[in-house]
Structure 1
Amino acid sequence: MVGNVLDNRYEILEKIGDGGMAFVYKAKCRILNRIVAIKVLRMEFVDDEEFVLKFKNEALASAGLTHPNIVSIYDVGQDDKIHYIVMEYVDGLNLKELIKKEGTIEPFYALNITKQIAMALSQAHKNGIIHRDIKPHNILISKDGLAKVADFGIAKAATSTTITAMGSVIGSVHYFSPEQARGGYIDKSSDLYSLGIVLYEMLTGKVPFRGDTPVNIALKHINEEVIFSREMEAKIPKEIRMLVCKLTQKNQVNRYQTAEELIRDIEYIENDVEPDFEQDYEYYATQKLDTLNEEIKQKMVKDYKEEGVKTDMRKKKTNKKLLTLLAISLALILSLGLTFTAYMVKDLFVVKQYEMPNLENTTLDETKQRLEAIGIKVEVRRELYDDSIEKDHIITQIPKAGSPIKKGQVVKVDVSKGGEPVSVPNLIREKLEEADKILEENNLKEGIIEYKFSSLPEGTILDQRPKAFTEVEEGTGIDLVVSKGKEVKLIKVPNLIGKTLEDARISLEGFTIGNITYKEDKTKKEGVILHQSIKANQYVEEGSKIDLIVNEYSEDLNYNDKDQQKDDEKENEDIFEKQISIELPENEEIVKVLVKEIGKDTSKIIFSKEINTKEKGNIVLVPIKGTGQKEYEIYVDNELYETISVNFE
């Protein structure tokens, strides 16, 4: 699905979750240019009218609910056989993931999350909607702590008529209410019971009732009280424990009747005001069931002793009656028990038949997750080399796609190990173009390329990963380090005028001394430099050549270089100083600025520097000198930024 576009509008970006009924994807709406979440019905259910109806019911149930604590529904659609719901994207975790991450949640933060969920339920209940599947998996917690209720997939409108499950147990077994377990009357308080179980799990890190089968857990919801251990008692305030116990009362009448009542008591606790609980729920919150059973057993023994020993004849007369009554009672109890159990769990024992999906080219992990969620096991038959199928993806399956399959059945698959291993060739010292050809010949490809300065020619391979002669599978990308030639380093030209040739040689470290010619100037000391071919304070490439003219007294020495004479005369003209103001981009922290003076046939760098705009600001002043009219080019990060003309007159 990733990369697909639904109805030419929703671009699927990544999978962010899945359940037994649907996948959830992060996507982008191309029309409104916003990120959304899209729930897509699994393909194996698209031909099942019951599943499609439940899926659409989710959108219908919550589309009309607008509240900060309810996930908004934006759209619902069908693209070919793909059924989908578009909803608000919540950047964060679901509550189950948060509990797993934290272990337990601090009591007052757990209370705050409970209040937010209660606010969402209040809005739903006011609109005649009972959620019927409140559990941590359906509560999303954003990064700023906002709780949002999602997944109204089995919600149902509440009317004056009694709501029954019509023979089915609806909801998630660890969180549903006793009346849901019995398939009986469901009302607002049923959602609040489930919320009480969620609050208990936040506080303790585990659900109150666990068992080997769904039936076992359901019976515990009906028969057993929610109990806090002595260890948890010390950590959780008494008022919060009593709140949990009121939420999870077996009798619907004894629970909170509305979400507003619950919100009121939570706000009392948050403000250090003790709610007025009508019963001593603390007793039920701390009593152990085995203690209660022991009290009942002791009372039965006491009653038996007070009855006394009856005569043998009376025993004989009454034994027959007692045996008859006992037999009738046991038969009646057994009949009722079997009827009740069959009524409650009949849907759980129906073995549903599915159509085998096409598993080829899907990952083994994804396949296991999909099929095991509906009770079908996956067994790897063989692992084979196959360069046409990606590693850890399925090549073939038994049974084939489209075949009927039932819960408990085993699916056998062959899994790809990728292409057969090949030896990595030695690419070091090869040119990049040649390396590409060598990789292609060996059924390998170019990986990540990193460029570094080097004394080797540009485009030469300096290093490779994996190393030469390593065994890898076909199609593996080989990362390369490539030379980008010798690093160009700019250095500042020193002022050599007036220095001796010996001193000049010391100052010209990093430069190359070019031609040395001699000229006589009686106004200057003999042996000093009169002229340098590159003027001082300019930035040029390291190793640049500088020609020098040295003063030497001689009666026969005359100017032979007319052009040099003109340059010297020009140097004596009046030179004016100005500044160029450059406004740098504000979105870059470090920028490289270079300014060139453009001559008729030549150009020279007069300024080159890296500027930290956060420290220095984004205005740079560059001093310039000259006469007449001059042109300057300004480069920012090696790109021409601006061309300006300066008049020095």
Structure 2
Amino acid sequence: MEYISGRYEILDNNDKIVCGKLYKARDLENDVLVYIQLLKDNKYISKSFLPNLIDESTMLNEINSYNIAKILDLGIHLSHEERYFYVVNEYFCGIELKKIIKGNYIDLNSIVTITKKILKTLDTGYSQGLYHGSLSEENIFVDENYNIKIYDYCITKANKGVNVRKDNCIAFLSPHQLNINYTDKESDFFTLGIILFDAIFKKMPFGIGKDEAEMLKLIDKGIDWNTVGINNENIALVNIVKKLTRRTEKYNGINEILIDLSNFMYVKADIEENEEIDEFDEEIDTQINKPKNKIFQKVMLLALTVTMLITVITQFR
């Protein structure tokens, strides 16, 4: 077992701890479950990060949103001459969105349901002047009823808008985060587009670069839409992804995205209804034609019998 600060016992770790990953742990002092993560001190992290995060977490907890994970404790953890920051969050009985996507447990309706909840949670933060800045499939948790809890709020803002570069996060960063370390709500929109693409097609839209420069080149190259299955059912959702991830003519706010998602659901429902009607019509047509087919068969059998009788009588004359 691994212990952080002598107080938090990590429960779901069988190997070396990965920095930035949320681990289920037990708070030995209060005997409750929590989530804890370690952030390795690196060149991207400001010297004022920890005091800033203490201030930001206080304001975050005052928002008191069910969908935003509260920060319960913060501190410094030293291990093998390495310096880490630890962040303790409230526990939520769900699983990472990444596991749902990679496990193929999600359909288009569920994708839209979860996306709407993510957007409404982001809107709650924006109303308080708080962007996220480090969204990924690993810090969005979903339960069996598709309720969500978003973690890592305030981490980027406490670091003066610079993403702290968690392990494997580079593929979720917006171009201006990669290029000039600037974060705003458009960064969240871009990241949401990446998550949506992966949820629909089970692959990252731009791939994963080894560093910022390569990742920017991949983004500039664009998404190869010929390699994915676009059809009548998902095309409206694909258009939302395109608008979230492009450089110009982007969404200006949450409501615009929610409207497009609602329109997608309306069109999808209409398509499904028409398909059900077509199937019903085919079934009715089959039922109507079935008696006709039986009558036709009887007539043909009678005609064949008469023909055979005439042939036999003719031969005996």
Instruction: Work out whether the TM-score is over 0.5.
Output: yes
Deviation at 1:273, TM superposition (A): 8.8
| Whole-Å separation in 1 of the counterparts to 2:95 and 2:260 | 27
Point out where structure 1 has 5 or more consecutive residues left out of the alignment: 275-649
Question: In the alignment, which of 33, 36, 53 is matched to residue 35 of structure 1?
Answer: 33
Q: Does 1:136 align with 2:137?
A: yes
1:220 pairs, out of 209, 218, 221, with: 218
In the TM superposition, what is the alpha-carbon distance from 1:87 to its structure 2 partner? 1.3
Contact 1:57 1:153 in 2 (8 A): no
Q: For residues 226 and 176 of structure 1, what CA distance do their matches in structure 2 show?
A: 15
Residues 23, 233 of structure 1: CA spacing in aligned structure 2 closer, same or farther, 3 A cutoff? closer
Does structure 1 residue 86 correspond to structure 2 residue 85?
A: no
Aligned residue in 1 for 2:250:
255
- Report the counterpart of residue 24 of structure 1 in structure 2: 23
Show the counterpart of 1:106. 107
Corresponding residue of 2:147: 146
Q: 1:122 to 1:248 in 2, by over 3 A?
A: same
Alignment partner, residue 578 of structure 1: none
TM superposition score normalised by structure 2 = 0.66
Q: Report the Cα offset of residue 6 of structure 1.
A: 5.0
Please state how far the C-alpha of 1:13 moved relative to its aligned partner. 5.2
Q: Is 2:195 the partner of 1:198? A: yes
Offset of 1:145 from its aligned partner?
2.0
Cα distance between partner residues in 1 of 2:182 and 2:35: 34
Measured on the aligned residues, the alpha-carbon RMSD in Å equals 3.8
* 1:624-643 aligned within 5 A: none
1:98 aligned partner, one-letter code: I
Aligned to 2:298: none
Paired residues of 1:122 and 1:259 also in contact (CA < 8 A): yes
Aligned equivalents of 2:173, 2:139: Cα separation in 1? 13
CA contact (8 A) 1:175 1:197 kept: yes
Match of 1:267 in 2: 262
3-state SS of the aligned residue for 2:229?
Answer: helix
| Secondary structure, aligned partner of 2:178 | helix
SS where residue 257 of structure 2 aligns?
A: helix
- Give the SS at the match of 2:240: helix
Is 1:15 the counterpart of 2:12 in the alignment?
Answer: yes
Q: Which residue of the partner structure matches residue 66 of structure 1?
A: 64
Q: CA deviation at 1:147?
A: 2.0
Code of the residue aligned with 1:217 in structure 2: it is M
Distance in 2, matches of 1:154 and 1:74, equals 14
Q: Whole-Å Cα distance in 1 between the matches of residues 65 and 256 of structure 2?
A: 19
Asked whether the 8 Å contact 1:181–1:219 carries over to 2, the reply is no
CA distance in 1, matches of 2:174, 2:4: 41
Alpha-carbon distance in 1 for matches of 2:226, 2:54:
40
* Contact 1:25 1:39 (8 Å CA) reproduced: no
Query: How far apart are 1:232 and its partner, in Å?
Result: 1.5
Q: In the TM superposition, what whole-angstrom CA distance separates every residue of 1:196-218 from its partner, at most 9, and x where no partner exists?
A: 11100100001111256332222
Specify every segment of 5 or more residues in structure 2 that has no aligned partner in the other structure, as ranges: 270-317
Residue 84 of structure 1 deviates from its aligned partner by 3.4
In structure 2, the CA distance between the partners of 1:57 and 1:143, relative to structure 1 (3 Å rule), is: farther
CA distance in 2, matches of 1:95, 1:136: 5
| Residues in 2 aligned to 1:157 and 1:6: alpha-carbon distance in whole angstroms | 22
TM alignment of 1:113-512, pairs within 5 A: 113-152=114-153, 154-156=155-157, 172-183=169-180, 186-210=183-207, 213-214=210-211, 215-221=213-219, 223-229=220-226, 232-234=229-231, 236-251=233-248, 254-272=249-267
**What SS does the aligned partner of 1:174 have?**
helix
Q: CA deviation at 1:50?
A: 4.0
Equivalenced residue count is 257
- Shift of the 213–74 alpha-carbon distance from structure 1 to 2, 3 Å rule, reads closer
The structural deviation recorded for 1:20 is 2.9
Distance 2:22 2:46 in 1: 14
Counterpart contact for 1:122–1:260, Cα < 8 Å: no
